[in-house]
Structure 1
């Protein structure tokens, strides 16, 4: 279905690799990262002001983790980041011996467990982990290339995980009590396309909104995996998206400029900026780490 979305460039960020947008409904702020510039950003949609914090290393994904605190996935581990002091406190290190790997997308489920994955372009040595509030770490999936966009259906019976390099979004059965996943199957197969699924979010009707790297768009799939709408963007590399705003109907979209040639930058001048689109269907709430 063709829908004419109004695209708003809400922040001229020119990020190298903008990612992991997270809506803070309490303070009405959007957090997001610029991975290679080592920045956690705090964007205020009301004032248009964007503050950033340098965390000293790659920061791939984030989640809220209590008052003035985030949990962050860095190059080879997890840490807490204090938004008042700027202090980074390491939680756990892993995959440090896998020099080609780094951590990538992450998100909290409704039980406050933080899910995050690793990536290694060209090799199937990426994994998906779940870090619980009691400090236990669980290996949930392996043999991935680029573990990416993840989310849950509104009824919490289905878990979604993207492997960008494989151009697939997978669906699993999900047990919300135990946090276990099973029965992996292909939800969306984009191997016939020239672009790659990146970060995603799920709305209150169970539709999946996936940013398409090198695709100039965000595609919305219904719960059966069929494309139902497409947001065309003025940038080549959308990276992720999340719902925010008072009614959770504002879709915030992060983008990247990294790896683009001068010619591509001219065609995609606003690469790295932050965009917002009003949608008819609200998103799901953001959940915080409970540890």
Structure 2
């Protein structure tokens, strides 16, 4: 792979505060993504360039497809459903409601359709990772995190990846597809010598991990052994997450943020908060949906 062969396109001048959590809907060829602090779930149509949004009334950290015309959302302190026909938000279950300094952040469904989502804490090591199962039960899967972020699964469904951004590390766990259990955590990527932080990630069909680098002006691709193989430089300081989409799953969509940048930094990073797309020669994995479609 050669980064120079990839053309970076600004597909939406969104100017979002904290764009995050892109999810590709292959059925309708749409990209859903969130603007966390503007309380928006966005629906972007690459064919027309049109972006619609739903105001969901509070912080929304992550989303996943959950049946016909519905998303599951990790909001500030719990899970909710969003009806895409009416815009109605309905509560599912409160989580960490007794921890006002925490909020929920990145989330994603595993290949079996369980929704994984993690929190972020103002204090160190006070955030956790949760798994919401198909029967509506909730399990705490990891503790001692600060910003639970960037998660994904290997193509063979035997490895689970999880990022703790302030620690500047991406971890790998053994994953049991049948039970959904994780074990034997190891450091997969260590960026503690860098000046930037790993944020959201996606995994491609060859098992490579693509991680957006907050304050790094780039997305870095790591092979299944954790070695950097490609760096796509971007015209913005704060890439936040990425996912593969398009009819052939070869377009890498990248969300970005403008929050926290000084006026001087904004001048250097004018397109911060916009949505970018990179046409690659790599095929991504399909988006996994939440499988419990009972309201």
TM-score range, shorter chain: over 0.9
Q: Which residue of 2 aligns with 1:161?
A: 162
| Count of residue correspondences | 291
SS at match of 1:165: helix
Task: Indicate conservation of the 8 Å contact 1:207/1:221, yes or no.
Answer: yes
Take 1:185 and 1:109, find their aligned partners in 2: how far apart are those partners?
Answer: 20
Give the C-alpha shift of residue 128 in structure 1. Answer: 0.3
Instruction: Write the distance in 1 (CA, Å) between the matches of 2:200 and 2:106.
Output: 7
Match for residue 3 of structure 2? 3
Gaps in structure 1 of 5+ consecutive residues: none
Cα deviation, residue 2, structure 1:
4.5
What residue is the counterpart of 2:183 in the other structure?
Answer: 182
1:26-59 per-position Cα deviation (integer Å, ceiling 9, x unaligned): 0000000000000000000000000001000000
- Establish whether residue 103 from structure 1 lines up as the match of residue 108 from structure 2: no
Alignment of 1:1-291 (within 5 A): 2-4=2-4, 5-291=6-292
- Deviations 1:227-255 (Å, cap 9, x if unpaired)? 00000000000000000000000000000
SS in 1 for 2:11: strand
Encode CA deviations 1:106-145: one digit per residue, 9 max, x unaligned: 0001111000000014411100000011000010000000
Kindly indicate whether the alpha-carbon contact (under 8 Å) linking 1:121 and 1:165 is maintained by their aligned counterparts in 2: no
TM-score normalised by structure 2 residue count: 0.98
Distance in 2, Cα, partners of 1:121 & 1:265: 25
Can you list the C-alpha shifts for 1:147-171, whole angstroms capped at 9, x where unaligned? 0000000000000000001000000
Distance (Å, rounded) in 2 between the aligned partners of 1:122 and 1:133 = 31
Offset, 1:94: 1.4
Tell me, in whole angstroms, the C-alpha distance in 2 between the residues paired with 1:3 and 1:234. 14
Scaled by the length of structure 1, what TM-score is found? 0.99
5+ residue gaps, structure 2, are none
Give me the whole-angstrom Cα distance separating, in 2, the residues matched to 1:246 and 1:252: 13
Whole-Å Cα distance in 2 between the matches of residues 26 and 180 of structure 1? 29
* CA distance in structure 2 between the partners assigned to 1:168 and 1:43 by the alignment: 31
Distance of 1:186 and 1:278 partners within structure 2: 30
Q: 2: distance between equivalents of 1:122 and 1:270?
A: 31
Take 1:97 and 1:169, find their aligned partners in 2: how far apart are those partners? 28
Distance 2:11 2:249 in 1: 16
Give me the whole-angstrom Cα distance separating, in 2, the residues matched to 1:52 and 1:153. Answer: 31
Structure 1 residues 109 and 13: CA distance shift in structure 2, 3 A: same
CA–CA distance in structure 2, aligned partners of residues 2 and 28 of structure 1? 27
CA offsets 1:59-105 (integer angstroms, 9 cap, x no match): 01000000000000000000000011111110010111111100000
